[in-house]
Amino acid sequence: MTGPDDVLRPHAEQRFAGELAALAAEDGRPRPPGWRLSPWAVSRYLLGCTLGDGTVVTPKYIGARRIVEVAVATLATDRALLLLGVPGTAKTWLSEHLAAAVSGDSTLLVQGTAGTTEEAVRYGWNYARLLSDGPSREALVPSPVMTAMAEGRPARVEELTRLPSEVQDALITVLSEKAMPVPELGTEVQARPGFTVIATANDRDRGVNEPSSALRRRFNTVVLPVPATAEEEVDIVTRRVADLGRSLGLPEVPAGLEEIRRVVTVFRELRQGATEDGRAAVASPSGTLSTAEAVSVLTHGLAMAAHFGDGVLRPSDVASGVHGAVVQDPVADGVVWREYLETVARTRPGWRDFYTACREAAG
Amino acid sequence: MTAIDTDRVHVLGVRHHGPGSARAVRAALREIGPDAVLVEGPPEADVLAGMVGEAEPPVALLAHAPGAGGGAGRAAFWPFAVFSPEWQALLYAHEHGCRVRFCDLPAAHLLTLEEGAGGAPAGSGRPADPLGALAEAAGHGDPERWWEDAVEHRGGDGGAGSPFPAVAEAMAEARARLAPGPPPLHEARREARMRTVLRSALRAGHRRIAVVCGAWHAPALLDPPPASGDRELLRGLPRVKSSVTWIPWSHGRLAAGSGYRAGVRAPGWYHHLFTAPDRPVERWLVEAARRLRAEGAEVSSEHVIEGVRLAEALAALRGRPLPGLEEAADAVSSVLCEGSAERAALVHRALTVGERLGSAPTSAPAVPLQRDLEAQRRRLRLRAEAEPREIELDLREESGRARSVLLHRLRILGVHWGVPAADPVRALGTFRERWRLAWDPELSVALVEAGVWGNGIAEAAEARARELASGADLPALTSLTERCLLAGLDGVLEEVLAALSARAARGGGVGPLMAAVPPLARAARYGDVRRTGSAALRAAAGALLDRIRAGLGPALTGLGEEAAVGAAADVDAVHRAAVLLGGDAERSWLDALERLAPDPALPGLVAGRIHRLLRDAGRLDGGEAADRLALAVSPGAPPRRATAWLEGFLADGGLLLAHDPALLALVDEWLAGLDGAAFTSVLPLLRRTFGAFTAGERAEIGRRARARGAPGGAGREPEPAADPARAAAAAATAALIIRTAKERE
């Protein structure tokens, strides 16, 4: 048995076992069937608080309280929950902690990829046993969803929109009938109270398998916003860039706060369609321009500065990265990016070098 | 002085615009059966209280003091919605024939204070929403919800009695903690005034008196200090000459966002709470679903059911007895709208504010807007006659311009007293405007309704234009820009232009932008005639031009033949606009055209047009233009594109071809080199191009082409000598123009 200290990344229920136990001990409110905690205690676990016995529950989700409350209330009404948001908005993180708090188990996970098959949602077979003994309960390999139904726990589906349509359709039956027939054995698995599905999806990821309206109707949707203020986002980016730089073994380059702020500003302005001072509108490109992308642009820029530049992060080091992140569709996004450079960047004080570098990168 | 006689006086401390309070007031009045009702408001309005039966809320009492020298003046408002407790009290008094007395400070005094609007100056030392402060102390975000939970649902249903004694007690406590010590002077005066009116009502012998006032003031009335102190406080207050009337109000202006201090966040929700007979959340979500379906969204009954379940679960999680607006809003966005922020915002706007316009009693005194119009009419000597007549205004004269501005402002306010007799856009180039004037009695009503926008014509027109600009699309904004310019609303013009640039950034493509630039450039030019600031217009047009330049290439390349016709016309129009703007705008526009011109993916017509524009602007010299023409019509190019190219290049007439032998030679050689089938296919297009030239041009081109084919080659034929007799008239006119221009300088 591995403990939380022996693995690279322990599950939420392992890492915060102490907090969960303390909350459960103090929680006197009614718990929905199959739940380890009351909805109220789940929201306290996520938002953080100090318990009567002095245990400090760290906040797991920093952001609007109502998002957490809507998510918990959704699960309490045995509806499925869909967390939408651009990359880097803590969808997966929130989904893991919700599952951990509700059932003490965040591991019933289906990772959505283009290659995910129906077996991942329904069940598969152990072919050796199937051939030797014929169809039997022992030869059946249940999916995480099937296990969750049988045990009355939440199943997690990551990247719902990457699942092929037919696999998504299999989820509809599960969510509406709350039962999974196994015709080969002439039986079915009926969901026990406490079963639900927490799915995550990237809402800017258009063109991937958009869920049908029949499936969407089975979910309550919570949109996770990008960091609310520029300061918050600069903070997140600075910390992650420093972390990544260390783990990549990059030579120490003072991560110029000015350049980080600039990249974050560009990304935020293009994303929200207006300048930070709210005085001018700009067009938004097709790319997501997530916080995660800003981090990768800056890490790349640091590597450039360290290996090819003069050791200081300069506009020319990030220009090509920013261009690549913004211009996904060469025609439409090219227009947006040129427009941004001409109408916003060109006239902004102190942005002259950045403007010139970006014009060069744009070619 | 002893405490007040609570058998005769009933103080109903309310939350302004609280539906819960309104319901409680209605019930309490029925129970008490008063013969006099005291309501917070200016005493000048006592005579207007009887008119409430004719009014349709939301309405407001407006007190207005004309400014010195015909200026904008000052105004104060007391708005009432159907869910305002004060309105319910007025209605009760009207229906039961009891005496109404307004017991706040006189408007004549309030209008002398710095912050007139809202009935009380800011910073008077108390929280803006005392019930809200109590609710917050109890850990609730929604005061109305808290009021419902804590006050109305207390002690189960049925004969729980009036909540008002408890409210007064709570407020006494809140006052002691939040604002200890004597109240600031203004507050003290208001309360002294309330007590004074109450004393006089008692002296008048009313048997049962109900006082409807803000909950904050209830303790001050129940435990009054000696009358002499109040008299002292109220002695010698400054006053101005003022008048009070009813005007229509709207939910939008009632909402907190509009600056009214005791405003409410969600008038639509409160209206719903007050008017819905039962199950408010269910009805609310059903209405939201209905609205969403009307917008084409798929919303099933299942959505509504799950929405109600979520709202209830949320209420339980948040420790509330019943779901409120926050829970309903979460349910709408998470379930009904499936997370779509745009759709949720739509429902929010439509339902939560729930725009609703009231109507004032018809017998209410004239509003300031009417008086302002009267004053301006007298000054400009424009009579209001029902009989239609036409007038002509010379915009170079002060009086003509002022009249034009007034009529345009009234049109923005929806008061169509004057209608432009000719199309104003065409007339703008000139210095004259024709108007058809007719004063229809309906216009008086329109004017009263426009009173909601302000008290002076100019101020009201500005507010209205601002309103029109929010949420308008690009063409609407462009036309609004022109209307603001015509109406001389310089203050709003910049805001409209800012909205225009914002819209342009969000905007679906270059096409609408290209349509928006020419009117703007035109407006910038005739702005000078009207002496309005055209710098902002130039800047806005220049900014739009920047965006067009950035997107021009992708917008023009790869178009079909039909789309190319429109695109070429657009390029032409924008080019003219750029030339009008001149300077940097013109230079960078030509730069963009120059970069774009050689792109082989441009449709022939557009490419030809661009080359012609560049040549005319001196960006392409004759030799270069000939090279490009040669390339366009070279054998490798598809004949149809070559013909379209020519059509674009020659669209302004054939003189160019007649006077540039090199170009003519190129065209001639190309045409002669086409094989039979190709020639047949291009013939109709060529015919169209050449058919558009004047007969003289065609004859000249033909003559030159013939000469080229003749032995001896092109250009040998001598130019026909000018005919002095035929040129004399034209030469004289030209000389006259030149002389006049010189004299001007």
Greater pLDDT, A150 or B172: A150
Residues recorded for chain B: 745
A77 CA to chain B: closest CA distance, Å?
7
Q: Tokens representing B101? A: 């007395």
pLDDT for res B508: 62
Chain B environment of A225 (Cβ under 8 Å): none
Burial class (CB in 10 A: 0-12, 13-18, 19+), A252: exposed
Residues recorded for chain A: 363
pLDDT for res B594: 86
Would you tell me which residues 266-295 of chain A have a C-beta closer than 8 angstroms to some C-beta of chain B? 273-274, 279-283
Across the beta sheet with B99-102, the strand order is B9-14, B209-214, B36-39, B99-102
Q: Residue B441, preceding bond cis, omega within 30 degrees?
A: no
Chain B environment of A218 (Cβ under 8 Å): none
Task: Count Cα neighbours of A47 within 13 Å in the Cβ-side half-sphere.
Answer: 16
Query: CA-CA distance, A202 to B96, in Å (whole number)?
Result: 62
Contact B581, B573 (CB under 8 A): no
Query: Could you give the 3-state DSSP secondary structure of residue B570?
Result: helix
pLDDT for res B152: 56
Q: Which residues of chain B have pLDDT under 50?
A: 1-2, 69-72, 115-125, 154-159, 257-261, 427-428, 712-716
Q: Which of B281, B314, B494, B556 to mutate to test the interface with A (most CBs of A within 10 A)?
A: B314
CB proximity list for B194: less than 8 A, separation 6 or greater: B38, B40, B103, B104, B211, B213, B217, B220, B221
Under an 8 A CB cutoff, do B505 and A279 touch? Answer: no
Q: Tokens representing A163? A: 């699942």
pLDDT for res B286: 92
pLDDT for res A168: 92
β partners of residue A141:
A124
- Pick the closest to residue B45 from B23, B78, B70, B22 (CA basis): B78
Under an 8 A CB cutoff, do B314 and A70 touch? Answer: yes
Across the beta sheet with B432-437, the strand order is B389-394, B432-437, B418-420
Greater pLDDT, B635 or A158: A158
pLDDT for res B490: 79
Residue that the structure tokens 């392992």 belong to: A14
In degrees and rounded to multiples of 5, residue B72 shows phi and psi of -70, -30
What's the per-residue H, E or C state across B183-213? Answer: CCHHHHHHHHHHHHHHHHHHHCCCCCEEEEE
Query: CA-CA distance, B575 to B513, in Å (whole number)?
Result: 13
End-to-end CA distance of chain A: 57
pLDDT for res B466: 86
Tens digit of pLDDT for each residue in A286-326? 877 888 788 888 888 888 888 887 778 888 888 888 988 88
Chain A environment of B507 (Cβ under 8 Å): 283
User: Running DSSP on this structure, what letter comes out for residue A147?
Assistant: H
Q: Tokens representing A33? A: 């069937």
Chain A environment of B338 (Cβ under 8 Å): 216-217, 219, 221
Chain B interface residues (partner A, CB cutoff 8 A): 298, 300, 302-303, 306, 309-310, 313-314, 316-319, 326, 330, 333-335, 337-339, 341, 498, 501-507, 543, 546-547, 549-551, 554
Contact B94, B55 (CB under 8 A): no
Nearest by CB to residue A70, choosing from B334, B337, B498, is B334
In degrees and rounded to multiples of 5, residue B423 shows phi and psi of -60, 120
Tens digit of pLDDT for each residue in B102-113? 988 888 888 887
Query: CA-CA distance, B472 to B452, in Å (whole number)?
Result: 20
In degrees and rounded to multiples of 5, residue A107 shows phi and psi of -100, -5
Chain B environment of A280 (Cβ under 8 Å): 501-502, 505
Tens digit of pLDDT for each residue in A17-46? 999 999 999 888 889 998 999 999 999 999
Predicted confidence band of residue A155 (pLDDT cuts 50, 70, 90): very high
What is the mean pLDDT of the segment spanning A220-238? Answer: 82
Nearest by CB to residue A69, choosing from B314, B504, B554, is B314
Under an 8 A CB cutoff, do B318 and A338 touch? Answer: no
CB proximity list for B289: less than 8 A, separation 6 or greater: B299, B301, B303, B304, B336
Burial class (CB in 10 A: 0-12, 13-18, 19+), B715: middle
User: Running DSSP on this structure, what letter comes out for residue A267?
Assistant: H
Query: CA-CA distance, A82 to A213, in Å (whole number)?
Result: 13
Nearest by CB to residue B339, choosing from A221, A331, A339, is A221
Please indicate if any CB of chain B lies within 8 Å of the CB of A359: no
Please indicate if any CB of chain B lies within 8 Å of the CB of A125: no
Return the residue of A nearest to B502 by Cα.
Answer: A281
Query: CA-CA distance, B135 to B150, in Å (whole number)?
Result: 9
Chain-centroid distance of CA B43 in Å reads: 35
B331 CA to chain A: closest CA distance, Å?
8
Burial class (CB in 10 A: 0-12, 13-18, 19+), B398: exposed
Chain B environment of A79 (Cβ under 8 Å): 306, 309-310
What single string gives the DSSP state of each residue in B105-133? --HHHHTTSS--TTSS-S-SSS-S-HHHH
Please indicate if any CB of chain B lies within 8 Å of the CB of A40: yes
Tens digit of pLDDT for each residue in B604-627? 888 888 888 888 888 877 677 777
Query: CA-CA distance, B17 to B267, in Å (whole number)?
Result: 8
End-to-end CA distance of chain B: 86
Please indicate if any CB of chain B lies within 8 Å of the CB of A72: yes
Would you tell me which residues 313-342 of chain A have a C-beta closer than 8 angstroms to some C-beta of chain B? 331-332, 334-335, 338-339, 342
Nearest by CB to residue B313, choosing from A77, A281, A343, is A77
- Pick the closest to residue B437 from B485, B479, B380 (CA basis): B380
Please indicate if any CB of chain B lies within 8 Å of the CB of A141: no
Nearest by CB to residue B501, choosing from A39, A76, A281, is A281
- Alpha carbon dihedral B357, B360, B362, B364, in 10-degree steps, equals -160
Q: Which of B327, B334, B514 to mutate to test the interface with A (most CBs of A within 10 A)?
A: B334
Under an 8 A CB cutoff, do B334 and A220 touch? Answer: yes
Nearest by CB to residue B547, choosing from A76, A331, A343, is A343
A122 φ/ψ sector (left φ>0, alpha ψ -120 to 50, else beta): alpha
pLDDT for res B253: 73
Please indicate if any CB of chain B lies within 8 Å of the CB of A261: no
Q: Let me know the angle formed at the C-alpha of B236 by B235 and B241, rounded to the nearest 5 degrees.
A: 130
- Pick the closest to residue A96 from A150, A43, A142, A154 (CA basis): A154
pLDDT for res B118: 41
pLDDT for res B483: 83
User: Running DSSP on this structure, what letter comes out for residue B255?
Assistant: B
Q: Tokens representing A328? A: 């996904």
Under an 8 A CB cutoff, do A216 and B546 touch? Answer: no
Q: Cα separations (Å) of B453 from B249, B250, B492? A: 9, 10, 14
A33 CA to chain B: closest CA distance, Å?
15
pLDDT for res A5: 62
pLDDT for res B151: 65
Q: Tokens representing B242? A: 């003022």
Query: CA-CA distance, A168 to B165, in Å (whole number)?
Result: 60
Task: Count Cα neighbours of B248 within 13 Å in the Cβ-side half-sphere.
Answer: 20
Q: Work out the mean pLDDT of chain A and round it to a whole number.
A: 86
Predicted confidence band of residue A284 (pLDDT cuts 50, 70, 90): confident
Return the residue of B nearest to A41 by Cα.
Answer: B317
